[in-house]
Amino acid sequence: MQHPIFELENAAMERWRNGDPLGFLENTDPGICYTDPGRVKPIIGIEEYRPFMQSIAGQIYYQRSEFIDPKIVECGGATLLTYNYRSTVLADDGSAKSQTPWNCTVLYYKQKIIHNHWSFIRHRVPDVLEIPLPFRPGPLRYEGLLGELIALESAAMERWRKGDPWGFLELSAPDVTYFDTGTPQRINGRDALSAEYKLREGKIHYEVMDFIDPWLFACDDLAVLFYRFFSTRLASDGSVASRVPWNCSEVFSRMDGGWKIIHTHWSHIRGERY
């Protein structure tokens, strides 16, 4: 792919696979929001991101870097880059010793990374997981654009938790792209997403939904919303039967006087490869 943003990403990845993560650090906006499978909460801000990246210097090495079907969407000063990725460690004879498949969502603002979401392709919730959460008594109220987008997400999620995925499809742009915990590669376009949702219609049910610490970045007619989410099923006595922890990145574009989703990335918090 010939594009300045992809060239930045590729150059940083070449340094990354040779044990040097600081290329990504140099490309990062001070307001960064970052998550990957090793984290129970996102990194917010360069002051938290810098020591994290410095701590893993010299620890990551692999020989083959593969970007699979990278896609770029530009909106004003922001550029959305999404791709599947495969990192491969080679044996002495040149054969693949191990491979790790990834989903990646990265939003650049003025050629600096403002949001980055990594997850394994096809992953599951670990058997035991401890997640520290904020406690805020009383109802949460979100103002401005954050409130508007959370309201859109909440309305679609109310339908989703009752087995109806079509609220999210109605929010999606025709050229929407999509990652989640079970997709073997990025889904491209509303028709393909509709076919995927058809397989899930009537099969997803839970009683309680929790949006945790939503984060918003907006510029021009583009906005990215990131939040952690708990979907909770209750037993007949009202106790918790199961709870699933999620990370979600939603990228919205303003179209026809409203907001439409142009990219979604769902992953399990601390999701483990199958």
> Within 13 Å, how many C-alpha atoms sit on residue 35's CB side?
25
**Number of Cβ within a 10 Å radius of residue 202:** 10
Tell me what the pLDDT averaged over the chain comes to: 96
Domains of the chain are 4-124 (3.10.450.50), 144-273 (3.10.450.50)
pLDDT band at 57 (very low <50, low <70, confident <90, very high): very high
Q: Which residues contact 2 (CB under 8 A, 6 or more apart)?
A: none
CA-closest candidate to residue 209, choices 258, 172, 167, 259 = 167
Q: Which residue has the tokens 């010793």?
A: 97
pLDDT band at 183 (very low <50, low <70, confident <90, very high): very high
pLDDT band at 104 (very low <50, low <70, confident <90, very high): very high
52: left (phi over 0), alpha (psi -120 to 50) or beta: alpha
> Within 13 Å, how many C-alpha atoms sit on residue 187's CB side?
25
Mean pLDDT within 88-92: 93
pLDDT band at 131 (very low <50, low <70, confident <90, very high): very high
C-alpha dihedral sign at 184, 190, 192, 193: positive
Judge residue 264's burial from the number of C-beta atoms within 10 Å of its C-beta, 0-12 exposed, 13-18 middle, 19 or more buried. buried
| Pairwise CA distance, residues 135 & 266, whole Å | 24
| Pairwise CA distance, residues 101 & 274, whole Å | 11
Predicted confidence (pLDDT) at residue 143 exceeds the cutoff of 90: yes
Q: Which two tokens stand for residue 191?
A: 């028709």
Mean pLDDT within 195-215: 97
